[in-house]
Homo-oligomer: A and B are copies of this chain.
Amino acid sequence: MDYTPHTEEEIQAMLEKVGVETLEDLYAHLPEEILNPPIHLPDPMPEWAVLEELSRLAGENLPARKAFLGGGARFHHVPPVVQALGSRGEFLTAYTPYQPEVSQGVLQATFEYQTMMAELTGLEVSNASMYDGSTALAEGVLLVLRETGRMGVLVSQGVHPEYREVLKTYLEAVGASLGTIPLEGGRTPLVEVPEEVGAVVAQNPNFLGALEDLAPLAEAAHRAGALFVAVVDPLSLALLKPPGAYGADIAVGDGQVLGLPLGFGGPHFGFLVTKKAFVRQLPGRLVSETVDVEGKRGFILTLQAREQYIRRAKAKSNITTNAQLTALMGAMYLAALGPEGLKEVALKGVYMAHRLQELLLTLPGVEAFTPKPFFQEFALRLPKDPLEVRRALARRGFHGATPVPREYGENLALFAATELHEEEDLLAFREALKEVL
């Protein structure tokens, strides 16, 4: 099974037309030394056997439907309606909409996505998506460096450690320097912003789940001529003050919490939203409304001079493939829930997370670490190595206690609760945790 339609007769007729005798002849001009290398792959299988083998592999995993794991990805409901619409063949198998006349589906849906992300963040312009939250952050900071012409970046320790690592990789590439603002009491303190710093970055809710008032830091950044980049949880923005309202020039984040399957970490999507003033520095695709020759409304890729396939070495980024489909599914999720529905989902998780903390703090040796109020996750100090705790919980069929890197302190672990948890789930989890501590 190779999905090719050719019959033997057709292959013969086509070979004749192109003037060669065999399929091998099509490769005759390649250097002989490299042709037909020995390659060892498993034998082909019919599709039912592939599915069977995959089911076997899937069976070696313990899916974590009602998990209490946090750390930048959480268990939320994945609405079947979004999955069904997002897997329509036309959305799934289209390319980047370079021919707008036959791509209004993707283009209009992207325009709507851009609108929703701008609304959530309180900013003006969203691109069509980035790979994930971490690369959205890196690209957002690079945008700032281009805009400010500075090469210094100051990032709060409250930003997801993996995001900071990715940022570091990207910044080293362009020779920019990266400083860190250590958390104090689980929150980002107000610091002086040195002159060489172009971008100040903080996360809200931060990696430990705590809500932060970032307005003073944004103001400090602006006073120093820098721009402020906020890393945000899009679900939280149903409830929380949007970054645009506390002075962020750029908001970035990851869309997984908007109803996307966790998929062991991806694909989700990253978003990057900013002010109109910076639009010409924006990496990635952008869709604009326009009209056709008959005056009918239509949508089209715009400001393409920023992009690699036009601008090449002078492009704002090398990004081409992004996370279009998962971003559209995020938009479908937002539309499916609406402002009220989204707020309810946010609130329920906040409530359950606080309740969970309360319950877990009754266990001996467990101490609070993340200050209140937090969003849907929080860190606790455990009396044991969190790696061991996580494993012992898994043996009991529970997933919880995401180990927190040592830089934040010893024996810390993240716990999350969402709209999928009810009181009895929390109680059962507490019992399990009690047993393993």
Q: A-side interface residues toward B, CB under 8 Å?
A: 46-48, 51-52, 55, 65-66, 77, 79-80, 84, 87-89, 419-420
Nearest opposing residue in chain B for A87, CB measure: B84
Contacts of A65 in B (CB 8 A): 52, 55
Q: Judging by beta carbons under 8 Å apart, are A77 and B419 in contact?
A: no
Task: Tell me the bound Cα distance from A365 to B50 in angstroms.
Answer: 37
Q: Judging by beta carbons under 8 Å apart, are B77 and A84 in contact?
A: no
Given A419-B48, A420-B48, A89:B84 Cβ within 8 A: yes
Contacts of A52 in B (CB 8 A): 65-66
Nearest opposing residue in chain B for A418, CB measure: B48
Task: Tell me the bound Cα distance from A303 to B88 in angstroms.
Answer: 35
Q: Judging by beta carbons under 8 Å apart, are A77 and B48 in contact?
A: yes
- Shortest distance between the CB of A215 and any CB in chain B (Å): 35
Q: A47-B77, A52-B65, A55-B65 are in contact. List 13 more A-B contacts (CB 8 A).
A: A46-B77, A46-B419, A47-B79, A47-B80, A48-B77, A48-B419, A48-B420, A51-B80, A52-B66, A84-B87, A84-B89, A88-B88, A88-B89
Task: Tell me the bound Cα distance from A52 to B80 in angstroms.
Answer: 13
Task: Tell me the bound Cα distance from A52 to B425 in angstroms.
Answer: 13
Return 16 A-B CB contacts under 8 Å, by A number.
A46-B77, A46-B419, A47-B77, A47-B79, A47-B80, A48-B77, A48-B419, A48-B420, A51-B80, A52-B65, A52-B66, A55-B65, A84-B87, A84-B89, A88-B88, A88-B89
- Shortest distance between the CB of A120 and any CB in chain B (Å): 22
Contacts of A79 in B (CB 8 A): 47
Contacts of A66 in B (CB 8 A): 52
Closest 10 A/B residue pairs (Cβ): A48-B77, A48-B420, A47-B79, A47-B77, A48-B419, A47-B80, A84-B89, A52-B65, A55-B65, A88-B88
Nearest opposing residue in chain B for A419, CB measure: B48
Contacts of A51 in B (CB 8 A): 80
Contacts of A77 in B (CB 8 A): 46-48
- Shortest distance between the CB of A19 and any CB in chain B (Å): 31
Nearest opposing residue in chain B for A76, CB measure: B48
Task: Tell me the bound Cα distance from A377 to B20 in angstroms.
Answer: 49
- Shortest distance between the CB of A6 and any CB in chain B (Å): 14
Contacts of A48 in B (CB 8 A): 77, 419-420
Task: Tell me the bound Cα distance from A435 to B420 in angstroms.
Answer: 44
Task: Tell me the bound Cα distance from A80 to B55 in angstroms.
Answer: 14
Task: Tell me the bound Cα distance from A87 to B52 in angstroms.
Answer: 22
Task: Tell me the bound Cα distance from A66 to B49 in angstroms.
Answer: 11
- Shortest distance between the CB of A327 and any CB in chain B (Å): 22
Task: Tell me the bound Cα distance from A52 to B55 in angstroms.
Answer: 21
Most B Cβ at <10 Å: residue of A46, A48, A87, A419: A48
- Shortest distance between the CB of A59 and any CB in chain B (Å): 11
Contacts of A88 in B (CB 8 A): 88-89
- Shortest distance between the CB of A80 and any CB in chain B (Å): 7
Task: Tell me the bound Cα distance from A65 to B48 in angstroms.
Answer: 11
- Shortest distance between the CB of A82 and any CB in chain B (Å): 11
Task: Tell me the bound Cα distance from A437 to B50 in angstroms.
Answer: 33
